[in-house]
Structure formats: C-alpha cells, structure tokens
Amino acid sequence: MDDRKGTERGGEPSGPSGLPFVGNIYQFASDPLSFYEEVAREYGPIARYTLGGREFYQLSDPDLVEQVLVHQNDRFHKGEEYRRILNPIIGDGLLISEGELWRQQRHRMQPAFHPEALADYTPLIVEYTERLLTDWRDGEVRDIHADMMHLTVEITAKALFDVDIREYESNIADALEAVMNRSEKRLERPIEIPDSVPTPGNRRYKHALSTLYAIASEIVEAHDADGDDVVSRLLQAKSRVEGIDEEQIKDEVVTLLLAGHETTALALSYTLFLLATNPEQADRLRAELDEKVNGGPLSMDVVEELPYTKRTIREGMRVYPPVQSLVRETTEPVELDGYELSEGTVVTVQQWVLHRDPRFYEAPGAFRPGRWSEEFRDSLPRFAYFPFGGGPRRCIGENLAKLEARLVLATIAQEWEFEPVTDELSFSPSITLRPDGAVKVRVRRR
C-alpha cells in the first residue's frame, strides 16, 4: 500500500498503487480479505484499485452501501463482472439476470419461500439432519464443511424440487465444488485460459458442468406442471407462453442448487467451527436447547423461542460472512460521497470489512453471540450487518436459509459436542467466502 490518503472530491478516490497491466492483482491474490481491510483502513469509505486491468471502487461505509443497494439501486446492476464469472455456469438464472426477466423469475419463485412453505420444509430439514448424524461416530474427526455441503444440497433439492438428489448423482457435491472452484479462479486471474484449451482444470470444469446440467435435465423431465414446487411452477409458466423455455428452467435449477446450498453450508460450517473453538458459548447454546427443547420435536414455533440459537447463527455470519463482498456496476453516471462515477464503474460493497468494523463491534474478531441484544441491533446502522445483501435484490432464500441454519444447528447441538482439529481457518474467497481446505472438528456424543 502507499500513503496517498484521500483526494479532493470531484476527482477520483485514492487507493493502493499497483503494477502496469496487472494493477493490484498480486496484493489481492495473496490475501484478498486482508487487502479489503487494508484498503478500507488506509483509504477510507470509498477507494479505488485495479485487478488485471479491471478497475474497482470499494465501499466500506454503511451509508454508501445503502445508497447502492437501496436508494439508488435502479442505477446499479450485477454487471459484467458477475456475468463473466457466473454466466458460463448458470446462464441467465435468477442470480445474475436483470430487468424484466429478473422480475418475472423472482415472481415465479417467490411462493416457494413464503412462511407457509417454510413451515412445510421444517420436518424434512430435521429429518435430513438426523439422517446425516447416523453416519457420525463418537470421537471421530469430520470435515464439517463437506458434511454441511452434502446436507444442504439434499435439503435444497427436496424442499424446492421435491426430489431426493442422491437418486440422481452421488457426487453432485463434488460437481458443485468444481464449478465454484472455477469461479474463484476466474475472479483471481488477470488473464483467463479459454475454456476450449484442454487443461486438466478445464476438463474437470466441463465434466462438472455437464454433470450438473444432466441432473437438471432429469429433474425437469421428472416433473409436470401439476405440482407446487419450483420446477412445476416454472413449467406452468412455460405452458402459458411467458417467454420461458426448458433451457431457462434448467438454468434456474442449477442456480438454486448452487445458491440454495452454498451460503447456508458455509454459515453452518463456520458457526460449528466457532463453537468448537469457543466452549463457553457452546455451553450456553446447549443449556438453552436442554431447557427449551429437551429432546422434543423441533418446529418453526420452537425455533422462534430459542434466542441464543438465533444469535449464534447471526454471530457466526458476522465473524465469517458466507458472502464477503457484493459487486455492482453503474448503468448511468452516479454521485457517491462527492465523487462522480461514470457509467460502467464497478463497485464492491464489503460485508467482510463492515462486519468486523470496530466502530460498530467491540472486539470484532471475537465470537460473542450474546452481543446481539435487541438494543444492540437497533443501535447498528442498517448496513453494518448485511449477510443476505439488501434492497430489491436481497437474497430470495434468506428466510429459508435462516430457518434451515437454526434447525440444523439445534438438531446437531442437542446430541453432539465439538473439539477443534483445524487450528485456524484459511479462505479461498470467490463469489462466496469458501474455506481453503477441510474444516475439521472432532465430534463427541453428549
């Protein structure tokens, strides 16, 4: 980093100096999360850097984030950066579609995430979690991230598509992992190797993508328009000639498989790791479960009566946000913090930085679920904590993800305790905050 602190408004924000052509790519690639933090610390709420010829404006202030995601959201879209990374994987799925197409897609899928639908999902979330736990043995070491990835993709497929995904492909989690690995590489590389070049990585990626779309095809073919799950609703829309074809439906299936399981799996993996490394907080969680559940059935109503369980998930997603930053691109000139951003400017809004900002969180690196009192929540700026984004494009599956995380955590923690095996987490950030390697804990039956 250099010491150019600030500029006069009306020019360009300052930022770290870089090398010709590649810009700050080497500083970023060596440790993206530290890079974000240092840029915010050295250059303030709006800063500029370049990665391989692409210029980014980093926003690390709650009010600026609110401008982008809420007040001026119509002047921003996901943009070419997201499309470059995700379009080869999910086509025009909900995650990256824009305009009227996005509005139609969201409208069609919204009923799957209504409260009455969530109540229907509750028994299957508990059932699938209990099914996972039958494979655990007292004292063994588990890769908790691999377990949560398998569990959440099975829950997503059953809840949204009414299928048992294990019947389609035993290694679907590996295929999902492979395409997410590719998204990480696309984000980091200033120059990409074309997919047509038959490198080992490209071959793995193409095989994984072929696997996912073969599964999506089977899922679509197994449905008709008479059901009430997401695929049936999309087929109903297709039958009404609403500008949707079978390829679009497959894109949505792959999108929901990816987005519907990845962030929830990460939230659970990191929260379980934090409980393993913070025994006092784990004891408080188990005490609440023993008092209020006591081995009884879990339901939406019961989960609502578990405040420490909810705070535990909330704090886990603060310390290690499953999505560390969001990218947007201006569709027209925009004024932010006194700077004029031209059309096509790429901005990033920083969950990782803001969730750990000492202005808002005492001991920001510490895992303290108890901090989340109602008074504390009310004192926070609106976008000092935003794990699910915000504004019109706030995550459609937010309520399902929160319910699922609480139910899975409560089901596991009633029966099992954890000891850390992985000493410290390291990350490979891409679209999501993915771990760099296994997240290992030793499981002990209570």
Residue by residue, DSSP assigns 406-444 as HHHHHHHHHHEEEEE-S-S--EEESSSEEESS--EEEEE
Residues of the chain with confidence (pLDDT) below 50: 1-8, 190
Please check whether residue 365 lies inside any domain of the structure.
Answer: yes
Instruction: Write out the E strands in 44-155.
Output: 46-51, 54-59, 76-77, 141-143
Distance CA 275, CA 283 (A): 9
- The pTM of this model reads 0.92
Report if residue 129 sits inside a domain.
yes
The pair of structure tokens assigned to 138 is 């007292």
Tokens of 42: 């050295």
- Determine the pLDDT at residue 6: 39
Looking only at the bridges linking them, the beta strands covering 339-341 and 346-350 are unpaired
> If you write DSSP's letter for every residue of 278-343 in order, what string do you get?
-HHHHHHHHHHHHHHTTT----HHHHHT-HHHHHHHHHHHHHS-SS-EEEEEESS-EEETTEEEPT
Closest-CA residue to 262 (of 115, 444, 414, 89):
89
Q: Hey, what are 21's tokens?
A: 């052509």
C-alpha distance from residue 92 to each of 87, 98, 167, 395 (Å): 7, 9, 27, 16
Task: Give the chain's domain count.
Answer: 1
Q: Examine residue 15 and state whether it is found in any structural domain, yes or no.
A: no
327-356: burial string, b at 16+ Cβ within 10 Å, e else: bbbbeeebebbebebeeebbbbbbbbbbbb
Give whole-number Cα distances, 342 to 24, 270, 286, 338, 345, in Å.
Answer: 21, 38, 52, 13, 6
**CATH number of the domain encompassing residue 379:** 1.10.630.10
- pLDDT for 82: 74
CA distances from 51 to 165, 197, 217, 373 (A): 38, 23, 37, 40
410 lies in which domain range?
61-445
In-domain check, residue 155? yes
Q: Does residue 78 sit within a domain?
A: yes
Is residue 318 within 8 A of residue 355, CB to CB? The reply is: yes
The answer to whether residue 42 sits within a structural domain is no
Q: Strand pairing partners for 55? A: 50
> Helices 307-319 and 398-415: crossing angle, nearest 10°?
110
